[in-house]
Structure 1
Amino acid sequence: MAITHDGPPAGTPVKASGSIWSNEKTRGWIAQGAIGGLAALLVGVMVWNAQDNLASQRIASGFGFLSQTAGFGINQTLVEYSETSTYARALLVGLLNTLAVAVVGIVFATIFGFLVGIGRLSKNWMVRQVCTAYVEVTRNLPLLFHVLFWYLAVLAAMPPARQSYSIFGEIYINNRGVYIPKLIFGEGSGVGLVALIVAIVGVAILKKWATARQMRTGQPFPVLWTSLALLIGLPFLALAAAGFPVTVEEPALKGFNFAGGARLLPEFAALTIALSIYTGGFIAEIVRAGIKAVSRGQSEAAASLGLKPGLATRLVIIPQALRVMVPPLTSQYLNLTKNSSLAAFIGYPELVQVFAGTTLNQTGQAIEIIAITMGCYLIISLVTSAFMNWYNRRVALVER
């Protein structure tokens, strides 16, 4: 009796079902299209709702308000500004003030963090305990508490102008801020800036040459002192050749306040100190963890070569630990920049206080102002991340 097979002969390709859902690629496209359409519908509803609300409140949309007169003053400006300036100028002033706090805060937080992080690994019991106490106290208190403490309990408690604390007879500290001598650059002082740029380029070339020379001959070159001589000496000589068109304006007490010189606002000082100390505690833990991640054999190898502990830490341990530290350091730098928005609590005129605060209250352009503020912080974060990623690639191990 013959046996028959109902299926197709062996090796015959099986045709796919005619349903579109049987094709995985087609299903993926349909799902993505549905999600994209839903997202577009949601955005459209939000835009329509926003336009309807603006129309009902008689608020014009768009960015034309940036060319209007601001009409309010700002007590710290790094560029020329007055009450007759535009909202765009006020935005620039707030952005520069934010960048000033961020840059100064990052520098001091890094210094504090490295010193305390290394101190936590010190063999000296007292140094180790003090650094541990610093980390535990700073990291476990809210940042806003740090800001208010330095502003209300320290700087606001300073004496009035007539009883100012004097440092070297030229720097005065009181409850209105810190007054320091101010450099006034006259005509022809631009030659000093050109000389400084030339000196910076020369330092970069010198460092590259010194590294290549040491790799070739094994002889070190005093790059640090030579670089300092270039950065200080070359601009000084250029200014001297131009007749030294730079004068110093010292602060002087006149009446109930100081006149002349440069003034550092107590709000700026409080915010910078708070951000530096607070972020420094987190950086200290990053530094400690990075150093601990380096093999103990590296320290032993450095000691066997006759390097002292301090020199071994600077030349052997820290360069290797940086490969571990840079990524979390980037996060701390970004956090410090964004945390500067807490300045609104003490009245420091940074981006949020000037633009998302005063400007928003006067114009009512909430959507545009929030979008601009978000864009500014996004650009700052992306630029910071790009720089740190570049540096991370420079210090990373190169496989051969």
Structure 2
Amino acid sequence: MATSTRSSGMPANKAPRGSLINDPAARAIFFQILVLGGVLLLGWYLVSNVMENLARQNIATGFSFLDREASFAIGESMIAYSPANSYSQALLVGFLNTIKVAVLGIILATVLGTIIGIARLSSNFLVAKLASAYVEVIRNIPVLLQLFFWYAVIGESLPGPREALNPLPGVFLSNRGMRVPALGDDPIWVWVGVAFLVAVVAVWFVARWARKRQEATGQQFHTVLASIGILVALPLLAWLLGGAPTALDIPALQGFNFRGGTSVSPEFAALLLGLVVYTASFIAEIVRSGIRSVNWGQTEAASALGLHRGTVLRLVVLPQALRIIVPPTTSQYLNLTKNSSLAVAIGYPDLVSVANTTLNQTGQAIEAVSIMMAVYLTISLGISLFMNWYNKRIALVER
């Protein structure tokens, strides 16, 4: 009588190991390596072909041109610049101008878009319809056409410097831009700015402490009043310790233009206004849909507790809606930043404008375009990283 393998205590024969080609994991790694090798080979071929063609036509390559004299002026600059500076300095000016437009545009578009989005949900018929008309009209007109429109309005509707409008003392509006008084040349203003930054950090720590205190004890702390006090007190203290200077640089008409003070050029104003108005129309729809996504029972429960409508929106609805609002809003921030490259069409010296001038003078198109691509990629990745961090921070934590 034959005995089974189990009854005799003999181990069962193991199934023979299959070859690597039948292993799904091994096949996946093999094909990934194959595709990566193909991509690298294609890249090597394209680069070597381009370099060979450039060498055949005696076209210089490399980034050594960045140290040469730029020899062209830039209308607006946040740092000291003259035509005698290098191309690298000129590109830095264009980069800072792009950052200025992007940061201000994101802040203003967020504020305007939030207001319009909430207005679309208003129980007031006129307010809701006006907000809806704004969204439907603005977002269906190409942004480039809107930039042309605002540039024409600002540049052609305002008078020349000699007939400039003077709505407030020291403020002048003309087709050369807006001139406003500036702070006098005193080193104390630097320390006032440092004090303000310190105050912002202090406000963040106070808000964090207040939140932990409320979670532990249930007692609320008036963070708004405390924050305003800190933001005002520290810069004011630095100003007083520095002698409390009050001198202002008042603009005055000299010849055919104003001198003194600080100015906002028509190009910058048109670019900023066009980008803010256009992007805000999309953010408004994102805010509206985010608020709509919050269960109506949340609003009813908060109203039953006697909370004011504005308080319900600020403390109950918006914190929950942010989970849906933040991801698509990130895309709008990226679009605004990239759309700022259209500034070249109205003469604002952003990165693209300066890089195009550099390209035309040096003939090194590949390097100039590579710099633009690298800068916009870095800015976009920075915005994405920050917004992803913020999105994780406001995410609901399950208990």
Q: Do these two structures clear the TM 0.5 threshold for a shared fold by scoring above it?
A: yes
What do the CA deviations read for 1:184-237 (whole angstroms, capped 9, x no partner)? 342344432332233222212221233234444544333223212221222122
Q: State how far apart, in whole Å, the 1-side matches of 2:280 and 2:189 are.
A: 37
Per-residue deviation, 1:254: 1.7
Query: Compared with structure 1, are the counterparts of its residues 257 and 16 closer, same or farther at alpha carbon in structure 2 (3 Å cutoff)?
Result: same
SS of 2:397's equivalent in the other structure is coil
Runs of 5+ consecutive residues of structure 1 not aligned to the other structure? 1-10
What does residue range 323-338 of structure 1 map to in structure 2 within 5 Å? Answer: 323-338=323-338
Mapping 1:108-257, distance limit 5 Å: 108-245=108-245, 247-257=247-257
Q: Secondary structure at the match of 2:184?
A: strand
Does the 8 Å CA contact 1:189/1:245 hold for their aligned counterparts? no
Map of 1:3 onto structure 2:
none
Equivalent residue, structure 2, for 1:368: 367
Counterpart of 1:156 in 2: which secondary structure? helix
Decide whether the 8 Å contact of 1:74 with 1:349 is kept in 2: yes
> Any conservation in 1 of the 2:70–2:84 contact (CA below 8 Å)?
yes
Gaps of 5+ in 2: 1-11
Check 1:232–1:185 CA distance in 2 against 1; reply closer, same or farther (3 A cut).
Answer: farther
Is contact 1:139–1:282 with CA below 8 Å preserved after alignment?
yes
Identity %: 48
Give the corresponding residue for 2:390.
391
Deviation at 1:285, TM superposition (A): 0.3
Give 1:56 deviation, angstroms: 2.5
Per-residue deviation, 1:395: 0.9
Q: Secondary structure at the match of 2:258?
A: strand
* Residues 154, 266 of structure 2: 8 Å contact kept: no
Question: Mapping of 1:38-53 within 5 angstroms?
Answer: 38-53=38-53
Displacement after TM superposition at 1:22 (Å): 4.5
Displacement of 1:13 in angstroms is 5.3
AA of the residue aligned to 2:241:
A
Write out per-residue CA displacement over residues 338-394 of structure 1, whole angstroms, 9 at most, x where no aligned residue: 000010100100011111x10111111111121111111111111111111111111
User: Which residue of structure 1 aligns with residue 311 of structure 2?
Assistant: 311
Aligned to 1:7: none
For residues 156-202 of structure 1, the C-alpha deviation after alignment (integer angstroms, 9 at most, x for no partner) is 32111112122212221111111111113423444323322332222
Deviation at 1:15, TM superposition (A): 4.8
Query: For residues 46-85 of structure 1, what are the structure 2 equivalents within 5 Å?
Result: 46-85=46-85
Report SS of the residue matched to 2:157.
coil
Distance in 1, Cα, partners of 2:281 & 2:50: 43
CA distance in 2, matches of 1:378, 1:69: 27
Alpha-carbon distance in 2 for matches of 1:173, 1:265:
10
Q: 1:320 to 1:17 in 2, by over 3 A?
A: closer
Deviation at 1:27, TM superposition (A): 4.0
Alignment RMSD: 2.0
- Distance, in Å, in 1 between the alignment partners of 2:37 and 2:197 is 53
Q: 1:311, CA displacement in angstroms?
A: 1.6
Q: Distance in 2 between matches of 1:109 and 1:319?
A: 19
Moved more, 210-219 or 267-276: 210-219
